[in-house]
């Protein structure tokens, strides 16, 4: 499986219906857009029939024992008192959901830059990338959302007890939380067999004579600049 290196490294496993071990790029809040775009373009240029999958799925948990109150205190973590242990935690948006707009921005930049590269290569007809969009929930995949303010074990146990009591009393329904994620597959060729996705066909346009001339002038300027730097 091919992975993007650096901050855009992908860790989640691909769905079974995407062929030939696609390149995976996990979009995060702290990663940089430019390396993601550069890596995706380079991969698509070198592989004709292997897609790139950009997603907001969480990274798998690191191996090791679960944190305890003692280890969190030793690491300088927050110490919860009896007063705030029963307090209702503030609602927070999971990174799998909050990074969806960033994912869409990265995808649009990749598609735009891909067409620009074709234009620089003097292609008479510019054919963009096939885009396949998938939206789902982590709960449906059996994945636990990343909690930025994780509860202590005793807090979670008390919360579950309150939910069970509320359900038994029949006064309120137990709150069901759904954490959305998005996955976008970009491919130079049309893919078949994908399920639960929407397909956006590639943009197709032809270059005019003036556009071809401008592309050639830009390429000559770039070559001249490279020659000056080499000297």
Give the number of other Cβ atoms within 10 Å of residue 27's Cβ.
27
Mean pLDDT of 205-230: 69
Mean pLDDT of 169-178: 66
Per-residue pLDDT reduced to its tens digit, 180-196: 899 999 999 998 877 77
Q: Residue 101 belongs to what domain range?
A: 6-61+94-149+178-230
Q: How far apart are CA 19 and CA 38, in angstroms?
A: 22
Tokens 């620089």 belong to which residue? 120
Answer whether residue 76 is part of any domain: no
Least confident of 18-22, 77-81, 196-200: 77-81
Provide the β-strand partners of residue 29: none
Give me the chain's average pLDDT, please.
Answer: 74
Q: How far apart are CA 231 and CA 226, in angstroms?
A: 9
Per-residue confidence (pLDDT) for residue 135, from 0 to 100: 92
Answer whether residue 160 is part of any domain: no
Answer whether residue 183 is part of any domain: yes
Q: Is 131 exposed, middle or buried (0-12, 13-18, 19+ CB in 10 A)?
A: buried
Per-residue confidence (pLDDT) for residue 182, from 0 to 100: 93
Answer whether residue 80 is part of any domain: no
Answer whether residue 162 is part of any domain: no
How many independent structural domains does the chain possess? Answer: 1
Q: How far apart are CA 225 and CA 140, in angstroms?
A: 53
Answer whether residue 20 is part of any domain: yes
- With cut-offs at 50, 70 and 90, classify the pLDDT of residue 162: confident
Per-residue pLDDT reduced to its tens digit, 80-107: 444 444 544 445 788 899 999 999 999 9
Answer whether residue 106 is part of any domain: yes
The DSSP secondary-structure symbol of 216 reads H
Per-residue confidence (pLDDT) for residue 51, from 0 to 100: 94
- Reduced to 3 states (helix: H, G, I; strand: E, B; else coil), residue 174 is coil
Number of alpha carbons in the 13 Å side-chain half-sphere of residue 192: 0
Per-residue confidence (pLDDT) for residue 65, from 0 to 100: 66
Mean pLDDT of 130-139: 91
Answer whether residue 67 is part of any domain: no
């Amino acid at each position: 499986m091919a992975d993007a290196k650096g901050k855009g490294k992908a860790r989640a496993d691909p769905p079974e219906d995407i062929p030939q071990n696609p390149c995976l790029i996990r979009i995060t809040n702290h990663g940089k857009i430019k390396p993601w775009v550069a890596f995706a373009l380079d991969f698509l240029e070198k592989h004709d029939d292997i897609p790139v999958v950009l997603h907001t799925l969480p990274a798998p948990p690191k191996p090791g024992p679960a944190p305890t109150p003692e280890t969190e205190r030793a690491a300088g973590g927050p110490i919860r008192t009896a007063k705030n242990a029963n307090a209702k935690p503030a609602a927070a948006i999971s990174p799998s959901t909050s990074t969806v707009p960033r994912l869409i921005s990265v995808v649009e930049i990749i598609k735009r830059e891909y067409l620009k590269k074709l234009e620089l290569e003097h292609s008479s007809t510019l054919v963009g990338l096939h885009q396949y969009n998938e939206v789902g929930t982590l709960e449906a995949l059996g994945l636990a959302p990343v909690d930025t303010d994780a509860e202590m074990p005793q807090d979670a146990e008390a919360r579950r007890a309150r939910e069970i009591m509320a359900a038994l009393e029949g006064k309120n329904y137990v709150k069901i939380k759904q954490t959305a994620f998005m996955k976008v597959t970009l491919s130079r060729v049309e893919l078949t067999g994908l399920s639960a996705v929407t397909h956006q066909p590639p943009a197709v346009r032809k270059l005019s004579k003036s556009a071809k001339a401008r592309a050639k002038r830009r390429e000559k300027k770039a070559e001249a600049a490279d020659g000056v730097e080499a000297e």
